[in-house]
Structure 1
Amino acid sequence: MIDETALLDATPLLDFRAAGIVGLIEDRGWLRLSEQDRIGAAYDFVRNEILFGYNRADDIPASRVLGDGYGQYNTKGTLLMALLRALGVPCRLHGFTIHKALQRGVVPEAVYPIAPAEILHSWVEVRTGERWVELEGFILDKDFLGSLQQAFAGTESLCGYGAGTDCLSAPPIDWTVGNTYIHKTGIARDFGTYDTPDRFYAEHRQQLGTLRDLAYRGGVGHWMIARVRAIRSGRIPRIPGLKRPEPLRKEVANAA
């Protein structure tokens, strides 16, 4: 599945020669940095300046993710790979599925029962020096994750609201030249590594079924985007079986 000679190539999804991506790298001056700092700069940009949210599909080009200004597990990974390759850093994709429970709270309860049991997922692996480093901690932006940390203060294990971690208060999400994760406890099936997201999505698609596909296209996706925004602002929807989080801000409590 891996072509080692292609780990710096552009592809239709990794379109790092697009004007927006070229301009971003030039404006930030990332090419003047050391390799590890280039990785860290691209990683931090995707983690916090591209907000957690849901694009129209998994298999959209990196330039579209940048233009949207938000992304989810797979689309933010596509953008990170494009930036890394533009910066001369070899990288590849590792494909998985995650249990749907990880998305509970983001997926509305009314439609959660019809959500697929497993959600297509991936992380980015970057080669620095002589080793591969796994990067997945870029998915949740700091404000979204911060809302969860405040709402569930004193709770370390959380599977829901887009997080799957046993160390919620201090998950390994910062670039320190080591692996980063925010969904590791939710992994179901492992599909292995791919040199490009193009190849991965050619082989693997999210299986929704006709009714579920119509439901998602008919408004569930927009509903999920609205819930992500609510969580980021401190309004955490209730998940049955979990203690209801308290409002995070006085103005939110007053509004309720």
Structure 2
Amino acid sequence: MIQTDPLLAPTRLLDFESPAIAALLEARGWKALPPDARIGAIYDFVRNEIAFGYNRADDIPASQVLVDGFGQCNTKGTLLMALLRGTGIRCRLHGFTIHKALQRGVVPELVYPVAPAEILHSWIEVETGDTWIDLEGFILDAPYLTALQRAFSDSDSLCGYGAGTECLNSPPVEWTGASTYIQKTGIARDLGTFETPDQFYDVHRQAFGQLRDWLYRHIVRHWMNARVRRIRDGRLPLKPGTARHRHEGDAHAA
């Protein structure tokens, strides 16, 4: 019996054999690239062609993230893993929690006080050569990150609006063959490594509770996505405690 490498195998969430993902892999021709270029091309696709935004849940299949066309750390990570495995690149998930302050400015202020203190987070570890590197810098698409850099050009430290970095103006987010990060300074707890996102979500779930989960899926995430679009357009809602900047007129935006 043929044994499948567990770090290359498809799963319910890593459904790279689904028609949508199989068609994408064929159209992009990534499998024909050398491994380093293959990782970079897939990373750039997930970073910039899948916009930063909030899906209905963390544990949705990669094919659904592709259809949505947007995602956050966990969902974009699932898609990244599926595309990497679908082209023969070994990868795994590293789970964490992040402090909710990292999401302030995106989460509406009406909701922020009742949000969980820690939010489920993950990055992807990919094997390249004889080493493993961390990939987290794909979370924020370039237009969104540029909007943050313009708004906070006077500071290199930011924890909010979906970013957690001490080098905002030149964060390590471009693929160079080394680790990439954009939310690292917001990390609260290390939950360890997992072969698949399926295993991760079997053990760890966001602590919303039934009512808050329903509100998130049907109302709150739509508010958050509207805020993300405004931020990407350069209209930042001001989060409490942030020094005023040129977008202060939007301080009371929903």
| TM-score normalised by length of structure 1 | 0.93
- What SS does the aligned partner of 2:5 have? helix
Map 1:45-84 → 2, pairs under 5 A: 45-84=45-84
Q: Within 1, Cα distance between the matches of 2:32 and 2:218? A: 46
Say if 1:71 and 1:218 are closer, same or farther in 2 by CA, change over 3 A.
Answer: closer
Cα shift readout 1:127-146 (whole Å, capped 9, x = no counterpart): 01110010000000000000
Cα shift readout 1:8-38 (whole Å, capped 9, x = no counterpart): 0000000001111111111111111100000
- What SS does the aligned partner of 1:138 have? coil
AA at the equivalent of 2:87: L
AA at the equivalent of 1:70: F
Q: Within 1, Cα distance between the matches of 2:215 and 2:29? A: 43
Work out whether residues 171 and 181 of structure 2, in 8 Å CA contact, stay in contact via their aligned partners in 1.
yes
Shift of 1:181: 0.1
In structure 2, the residue matched to 1:238 is 238
- What SS does the aligned partner of 1:5 have? coil
Q: Within 1, Cα distance between the matches of 2:77 and 2:242? A: 30
Shift of 1:119: 0.3
| TM-score normalised by length of structure 2 | 0.94
In structure 2, the residue matched to 1:182 is 182
Work out whether residues 95 and 193 of structure 2, in 8 Å CA contact, stay in contact via their aligned partners in 1.
yes
AA at the equivalent of 2:244: R
In structure 1, the residue matched to 2:212 is 212
AA at the equivalent of 1:170: S
- What SS does the aligned partner of 1:84 have? helix
Q: Within 1, Cα distance between the matches of 2:157 and 2:12? A: 38
- What SS does the aligned partner of 2:168 have? coil
Map 1:29-48 → 2, pairs under 5 A: 29-48=29-48
* Off by >4 Å, runs of 4+ in structure 1: none
Q: Within 2, Cα distance between the matches of 1:201 and 1:154? A: 39
Count of aligned pairs between the two proteins: 246
Work out whether residues 57 and 217 of structure 2, in 8 Å CA contact, stay in contact via their aligned partners in 1.
no
Q: Which segments of 5 or more consecutive residues in structure 2 lack a partner in the other structure?
A: none
The share of aligned pairs that are identical, in percent, is 66
Work out whether residues 237 and 247 of structure 2, in 8 Å CA contact, stay in contact via their aligned partners in 1.
no
Q: Within 2, Cα distance between the matches of 1:161 and 1:89? A: 31
Q: Within 2, Cα distance between the matches of 1:120 and 1:241? A: 24
Q: Within 1, Cα distance between the matches of 2:58 and 2:218? A: 17
Q: Which segments of 5 or more consecutive residues in structure 1 lack a partner in the other structure?
A: none
Q: Within 2, Cα distance between the matches of 1:244 and 1:26? A: 48
Q: Within 2, Cα distance between the matches of 1:162 and 1:121? A: 11
Map 1:1-256 → 2, pairs under 5 A: 5-247=5-247
